[in-house]
Structure 1
Amino acid sequence: YKMTQPLLSIDNLSIAFSKQDETRTVVTDLSLQIQPGETLALVGESGSGKSVSALSILRLLPSPPVSYPQGDILFPGSSLLHADEHTLRGIRGNKIAMIFQEPMVSLNPLHSLEKQLYEVLSLHRGMRKEAARGEILDCLERTGIRNAAKRR
């Protein structure tokens, strides 16, 4: 049995926010690992730090006011907290994607799913419409949307 490196590892991460001269730590010593093929649910009370922890993985919080006084986020084995913006752009949407809590912000009901998914593939993978269509239909079928080609 060969132990594989975690796909994502958060090691003793603390997250703080600064306002004027005051800094408040909102998450202390968070550690978790996600292995390839594994699913992890992050649950807790409202205000417990679930969202700021998830947003920190892709460094989607403005810095300042957010800071990370200790710990690191590794994907796979490389620091996301210390990655440059170019590296993060290559990871965001391509290797790590986030589905935000508010569905009305995530998908626009005025545009087709195909159009919205194409924008992501075009932006992150440079795919043209014809090449992307097959992948889009495959994704929709895998998520349980039957007859995806007719729904567009």
Structure 2
Amino acid sequence: HRMMRLHTASHVIAALLYEKYGARVTGGHIGPEVARDDFDLRGVKEWKDALRWAVEEANKIIKKCIEVKVYWLPREEALKIPGIVKLADKLPPEIEKIRIVEIPGIDIQADGGPHVKNTCEIGELEIVKLESKGSRRRRIYYTVKP
């Protein structure tokens, strides 16, 4: 269940950083205890502050107890949603239906992974470590309190 909490949290953090900074996720991993996400934050001088801000804002959103919706859409309909498939060229043409994970007002993505039913289930996020991994990539490790 902890991995589900971290996975849903990653959607909230990524949505916030994209909305404010235009930062795209460049990599990530959800582990049993800790999640890692990499963001393209080039041009953001105070990138550590940006990542801390995203976690603070995510914690506020999480406390709003927003229902996490999971549903399927026909491929053609799903692809009309802006930014829905980050790897559209990687989507095999034979896939006719796409699984959507939506946190209303926050994020909507094509996603096949496990998620909590409500943001309240995530609990409080905590930063473990922040790292620079080159000129563009900024890495955040975070966890959820038990």
Name the one with the larger strand percent: 2
TM-score, normalised via structure 2 length: 0.29
Q: Could you tell me the TM-score, scaled by structure 1's length? A: 0.28
- Where relative contact order (Cα < 8 A, 6+ residues apart) is larger, the structure is 2
Question: Which of structures 1 and 2 has the bigger CA Rg?
Answer: 1
